[in-house]
């Protein structure tokens, strides 16, 4: 499968996972792909914590408010620091989002599945993210903004419906059709 086919074959997976552990080497390759994402002014605001210790995973899922059972045998926690790129400008959201996309692609490339979980541990639910940060021993200036399960899917992976190409992509100007 080439790169673009792989990009098109990635979908958010919300099913159960097989109880098969993820080798550390695979986790490391995935994490290296995440860190290879660009960052605004090369500030590298994103850090990553891979978790495969069952007791830590269980604590994290308790903080998240989901049963640990049936979840993936590994997780990547996406950590950010709101570092300024220049003046009052920071690109930390863009930085971690690009890193997450790399992680998701690398996860699928290695034969695993995942899903971008952000809204359920941030914003109104940021208390959950803070609990996770505490479990992981993070200093106060580091935030957990997302977690990605990593494991082999037990269920089918189904794409979500997307708007047609012509509603989101144009050539040389707004709503100008591709030829």
Measured from the CB atom, the residue of 17 and 39 that comes closer to a copy of itself is 39
> Is there binding between residue 177 and a copy of itself (CB under 8 A)?
no
Coil, strand or helix at 17: strand
Which one of 17, 22, 46, 148 is in contact with a copy of itself (CB under 8 A)?
Answer: 46
- Strand segments (E) across 4-82: 46-51, 74-80
In the stretch 91-120, what mask flags binding to a copy of itself with x, by CB under 8 A?
x-xxx-xx-xxx-xxx--xx-----x-xx-
Determine, following the binding rule CB under 8 A, whether residue 28 of this chain makes contact with a copy of itself. yes
Q: CA nearest 139: which of 27, 47, 36, 39?
A: 47
As given in the structure block, the two tokens for residue 89 are 């400008």
Asked if residue 141 binds a copy of itself (CB under 8 A), the reply is no
Cβ 124 to a copy of itself shortest distance, Å: 8
Q: CB of residue 16 vs a copy of itself: minimum separation in angstroms?
A: 20
What is the number of other CB atoms lying within 10 angstroms of the CB of residue 15?
A: 13
Whether 128 and 63 have beta carbons less than 8 Å apart is answered as yes
Site string for a copy of itself, 65-84 (x = CB under 8 A): --------------------
Q: Which of 137, 119, 110, 143 is nearest to 22 (CA)?
A: 110
| Residue 134: CB minimum distance to a copy of itself, A | 10
Interaction with a copy of itself in 150-169: which residues (CB under 8 A)? 160-163, 165, 168-169
**24 near a copy of itself, rule: CB under 8 A:** yes
41 close to 13: Cβ distance less than 8 angstroms: no
| Total of residues contacting a copy of itself (CB under 8 A) | 75
* Cα radius of gyration rounded to whole Å, the chain: 18
Among 49, 72, 121, 148, binds a copy of itself (CB under 8 A): 49
SS3 of 126, please? helix
d(CA 58, CA 141): 24
Residue closer to a copy of itself by CB (options 68, 86) is 86
């Amino acid at each position: 499968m080439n790169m673009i086919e792989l990009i098109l074959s990635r979908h958010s997976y919300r099913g159960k996972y097989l109880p098969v552990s993820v080798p550390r080497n695979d986790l490391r390759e995935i994490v290296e792909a995440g860190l290879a994402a660009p960052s605004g002014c090369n500030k590298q605001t994103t850090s990553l914590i891979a978790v495969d210790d069952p007791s830590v995973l269980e604590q994290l899922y308790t903080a998240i408010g989901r049963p640990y059972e049936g979840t993936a045998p590994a997780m990547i926690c996406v950590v950010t620091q709101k570092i300024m790129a220049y003046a009052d400008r920071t690109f930390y959201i863009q930085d971690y989002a690009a890193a997450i996309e790399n992680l998701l692609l690398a996860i699928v490339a290695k034969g695993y599945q995942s899903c971008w979980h952000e809204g359920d541990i941030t914003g109104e639910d940021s208390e959950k993210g803070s609990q996770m940060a505490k479990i992981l021993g993070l200093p106060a200036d580091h935030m957990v903004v997302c977690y990605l399960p990593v494991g082999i899917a037990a269920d089918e992976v189904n794409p979500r419906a997307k708007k047609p190409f012509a509603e989101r992509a144009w050539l040389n100007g707004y709503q100008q059709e591709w030829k």
